[in-house]
Chain A
Amino acid sequence: MSGTSSFSEAAHVALSNSQQRRNLRQATTSIRAKRDAAVGEVDQWEALREEGRRIKDRTMRHLDVHLERLEERVTAAGGHVHWARDGDEANAIVTRLVRDAGSDEVIKVKSMTTAEIGLNEALARAGIVAHETDLAELVIQLADDRPSHILVPAIHRNRAEIRTLFRRHLADTEELTDDPAALAEAARRHLRRLFLSVDVGVSGANFAIAQTGTICVVESEGNGRMCTTLPQTLITVMGIEKVLPTVADLDVMLRLLPRSSTGERMNPYTSLWTGVADDPPDGPRAFHLVLLDGGRTETLADEIGRQALHCIRCSACLNICPVYERTGGHAYGSPYPGPIGAILAPQLAGLRDHTSLPWASSLCGACYEVCPVKIDIPQVLVHLRGRVVRQAKQDGWRGRVAGERLAMETMARVFASRRRYEAAQRTARVTARAVTRDGLVRPQLPGPLGAWLSSRDLPAPAAQSFREWWRAQPDQSDPDGHGGAA
């Protein structure tokens, strides 16, 4: 889960995967247009963003008070509240609760928090099967792949790949086409059986309201409603930063989130529940809320870094980011990719584990512009870079921090601009030709490229890049152009 391979290495691999880049560019281009239209409809969007920022800022400053209130209200409504210092503790709590419920399987609605703590793997070690029920999560699970986007974890997979996967793994799919509606239908049939039979549900939470003890899950497909309504036991794992003081605060978030996220006026389903509903009975007979620290209090202690905790996981910053669009989500080596991942993952997991992530950005500022709660991501990035460097100095510059840093800085700048990207390709080629042996670039080079190469092998670049080849063809449009050839 943590950054075993650094961002620059992983990004390099991702850049060579042209199918993924094509899928990603197409997807982010279309979602950006939808978001712009949905946001453009709201007269006072900027005032609403400021209100969102203010609510999150104020809530964080008194987080203890709101959490105690939430605990009191959930308990009063018949729920049970558990506290976990870290992911392992949370996993142990959930495992025990599932066993106590007498089940060896759970149905899960997509949750970033449970991905962060590796809950599925922990449950598997205890002999408990976790069924992901979100369409994209199902794709990821069947392909034994990793999520690459907050909202659409399988954004890097196209319909043909998903069809192949479903035909291999799901029953009665011999005739399956790659029409998205047909693929969705196949997932519906496959999962319906599980929804009707599995008696423990596991969810995350988008928001929790301290005032009333209510949990809120925002979704599109209806699998969230299934998992939180049909089982006898419901377990919700929630980062402590998700609490909101009042229903009025939720109102602001519900006006910001869907438009920023899927570019809709409102998402299909928003579920709100308070403990156990018994008059009349509706839904699970037992409700457990697991409140997770997992690095959040450490993040909170950093006066500049703490705004990363304001994130409502809309993914607008991923969709707008030029670096993300070119590298994809896997390069970040964390369940939280993109600009938010670059500031959140290193803080949650500890800066020593993710030294390169704060450099995975060109500081172009587009993420700040679209963030519905106005998180100043560039400011936090710069701040974290300073912390990494100070820490490396303290550690006596062991490891690769210095070289990483310089190379990532250059790399992020280069990814952000097509002109520079092409220029860099040319430079690399010209330089590499002079120093290539056995088809690999070996020697110590001066400057950022050399620092970056200090721990890597690099195949010698082709004599002519695709872009150059394309340009040389008569009457060809730009390979990046939307009207151009595919």
Chain B
Amino acid sequence: MSGAREVVLARIRAALCDVPADEQAAPPTAFVLGDDGLEEPAFVLRSRFAARVEDYGARVTRVSVAPAAIRAAVAQACVRHGIRRLAVPGDVPVEWLPPGIELLADEPGAPLSRATLDETGAVLTGCAGAIAQTGTIVLDGGPGQGRRALTLLADVHVCVVLVEQIVGDVSEALAAVGAVLGQTRRPVTLVSGPSATSDIELERVEGVHGPRRMEIVLAG
């Protein structure tokens, strides 16, 4: 196929004959951070994030950062959805894990099968960051998040977000994402509420293929 490669590149160069030969190909684009560059206090970001993720139909429980408080909120979410078995990434903080629930750990060396993930129905993870402006969670495969299939096949996703992880806008989050993409091969997923479709008469329906219920435990 190298023939096609050379042909296409040659066609592009011929098509761009109007571009001066000495024009810079890549003047660096800087991230434009925020609308006014003002740092917003954490409590503002926290309530904005909560309100916006709720707009998508996710449920938000606010707790303190105390491990016992997080654990209790996770336990309540399990009760709400009748969850008895919970898939978790192998490195999820143990202090988040509620008692009386069967836990299935997904480890890089011993991954759960697709069928098991499909049957388990619920997953508990942390996240890499969150965006207040858009109610978005960033998953980058880092600590406490696991691989992508884990948060995809379950019907309920319980996600712990620490207030200190919330940034103001998409640009701040993407600056961090850029570092991950530049330095690793880890995939990144931006999740904004539960799966949804507007394919039928443009009426939004929550829940098609990804998790249909999203429970956010907002700590701090």
| Min C-beta distance of B53 to chain A, whole Å | 10
Say yes or no: B187 contacts A159, CB within 8 Å. Answer: no
Q: Is B4 an interface residue (CB 8 A)?
A: yes
* A271-308 contacts to B (CB < 8 Å): 271-283, 291, 293, 297-298, 300-301, 303, 306
| Min C-beta distance of A136 to chain B, whole Å | 4
Q: How far is the CA of A78 from the CA of B30 in the complex (A)?
A: 28
Instruction: Evaluate whether A269 and B202 lie within 8 angstroms (CB atoms) in the complex, with A61-B19, A226-B152, A247-B174 already known.
Output: no
Partner of B199, one of A136, A245, A279, A300: A136
Partner of B16, one of A61, A209, A264, A298: A61
Say yes or no: A154 contacts B177, CB within 8 Å. Answer: no
- For the A-B complex, the count of residue pairs with Cβ-Cβ distances under 8 Å equals 259
Q: Mark B173-199, 1 if CB is under 8 A from A, else 0.
A: 011011001101111111111111111
Q: How far is the CA of A274 from the CA of B185 in the complex (A)?
A: 5
Q: Is A68 an interface residue (CB 8 A)?
A: yes
Say yes or no: A272 contacts B32, CB within 8 Å. Answer: no
User: Which residues on the A side are within 8 Å of B171 (C-beta)?
Assistant: 251, 255
* B11-54 contacts to A (CB < 8 Å): 11-16, 18-19, 23, 25-32, 35, 52
Q: How far is the CA of A275 from the CA of B12 in the complex (A)?
A: 25
Q: Is A89 an interface residue (CB 8 A)?
A: yes
Q: Is A77 an interface residue (CB 8 A)?
A: yes
Say yes or no: B209 contacts A222, CB within 8 Å. Answer: yes
Q: How far is the CA of A276 from the CA of B8 in the complex (A)?
A: 25
Chain B interface mostly? loop
Select from chain A the residue with minimum beta-carbon distance to B9.
A64
Say yes or no: A270 contacts B189, CB within 8 Å. Answer: yes
User: Which residues on the B side are within 8 Å of A271 (C-beta)?
Assistant: 148, 187-189
Q: How far is the CA of A312 from the CA of B136 in the complex (A)?
A: 21
* A6-52 contacts to B (CB < 8 Å): 23, 26-27, 30-31, 43-44, 51
Q: Is A82 an interface residue (CB 8 A)?
A: yes
Q: How far is the CA of A223 from the CA of B115 in the complex (A)?
A: 17
Q: How far is the CA of A230 from the CA of B210 in the complex (A)?
A: 12
Q: Is A75 an interface residue (CB 8 A)?
A: no
Q: Is B7 an interface residue (CB 8 A)?
A: yes
Q: Is B141 an interface residue (CB 8 A)?
A: yes
Say yes or no: A245 contacts B29, CB within 8 Å. Answer: yes
Q: Is B61 an interface residue (CB 8 A)?
A: no
Say yes or no: A221 contacts B25, CB within 8 Å. Answer: no
Q: How far is the CA of A162 from the CA of B182 in the complex (A)?
A: 44
Q: How far is the CA of A84 from the CA of B8 in the complex (A)?
A: 8
Say yes or no: B174 contacts A254, CB within 8 Å. Answer: yes
Say yes or no: B190 contacts A270, CB within 8 Å. Answer: yes
Q: Is A155 an interface residue (CB 8 A)?
A: yes
Q: How far is the CA of A273 from the CA of B188 in the complex (A)?
A: 6
Select from chain A the residue with minimum beta-carbon distance to B4.
A83
The count of residues in chain B whose C-beta lies closer than 8 Å to any C-beta of chain A is: 76
Q: Is B208 an interface residue (CB 8 A)?
A: yes
User: Which residues on the A side are within 8 Å of B174 (C-beta)?
Assistant: 247-248, 250-251, 254
Say yes or no: A180 contacts B192, CB within 8 Å. Answer: no
Say yes or no: B26 contacts A196, CB within 8 Å. Answer: no
Q: Is A65 an interface residue (CB 8 A)?
A: yes
Q: How far is the CA of A85 from the CA of B193 in the complex (A)?
A: 40
Say yes or no: B114 contacts A301, CB within 8 Å. Answer: no
Say yes or no: A301 contacts B186, CB within 8 Å. Answer: no
Say yes or no: A222 contacts B195, CB within 8 Å. Answer: yes
Q: Is A266 an interface residue (CB 8 A)?
A: yes
| Min C-beta distance of A286 to chain B, whole Å | 14
Q: Is A173 an interface residue (CB 8 A)?
A: no
Q: Is B213 an interface residue (CB 8 A)?
A: no
Q: Is A417 an interface residue (CB 8 A)?
A: no
Partner of B181, one of A191, A196, A212: A212
Select from chain A the residue with minimum beta-carbon distance to B19.
A61
Partner of B8, one of A43, A211, A240, A267: A240
Say yes or no: A254 contacts B187, CB within 8 Å. Answer: no
Q: Mark A186-202, 1 if CB is under 8 A from B, else 0.
A: 01100110011000000
Instruction: Evaluate whether A266 and B170 lie within 8 angstroms (CB atoms) in the complex, with A78-B185, A196-B114, A301-B15 already known.
Output: yes
Say yes or no: B209 contacts A221, CB within 8 Å. Answer: yes
User: Which residues on the A side are within 8 Å of B209 (C-beta)?
Assistant: 133, 188, 191-192, 195, 221-223, 225-226
| Min C-beta distance of A170 to chain B, whole Å | 14
User: Which residues on the A side are within 8 Å of B175 (C-beta)?
Assistant: 247-248, 251
Partner of A221, one of B12, B52, B196: B196
Q: How far is the CA of A266 from the CA of B209 in the complex (A)?
A: 18
Say yes or no: A297 contacts B12, CB within 8 Å. Answer: yes
Say yes or no: A134 contacts B30, CB within 8 Å. Answer: no
Q: How far is the CA of A75 from the CA of B191 in the complex (A)?
A: 27
Say yes or no: B201 contacts A159, CB within 8 Å. Answer: yes
Q: How far is the CA of A93 from the CA of B4 in the complex (A)?
A: 12
Q: How far is the CA of A225 from the CA of B117 in the complex (A)?
A: 15
Q: How far is the CA of A63 from the CA of B195 in the complex (A)?
A: 35
Q: Is B134 an interface residue (CB 8 A)?
A: yes
User: Which residues on the A side are within 8 Å of B165 (C-beta)?
Assistant: none
Partner of A274, one of B30, B133, B181: B181
Q: Which 9 A-B pairs have the closest CB atoms?
A: A222-B210, A247-B178, A222-B209, A280-B108, A297-B11, A301-B15, A266-B134, A62-B25, A221-B208
Chosen A-B contacts, 16 in total, with CB atoms closer than 8 Å, are A64-B16, A85-B4, A85-B7, A93-B1, A135-B208, A136-B199, A180-B203, A184-B205, A220-B197, A222-B152, A226-B152, A246-B28, A251-B174, A254-B174, A268-B195, A282-B149
- Contacts A220-B195, A255-B171 aside, 5 further interface pairs with beta carbons under 8 A come to A83-B7, A93-B1, A272-B181, A277-B141, A277-B187
- By a beta-carbon cutoff of 8 Å, the part of chain A in contact with chain B is 23, 26-27, 30-31, 43-44, 51, 55, 58, 61-68, 77-78, 82-85, 89, 93, 133-136, 139, 152, 154-155, 158-159, 162, 180-181, 183-185, 187-188, 191-192, 195-196, 209, 211-212, 214, 220-223, 225-226, 229-230, 240, 245-252, 254-255, 262, 264-283, 291, 293, 297-298, 300-301, 303, 306
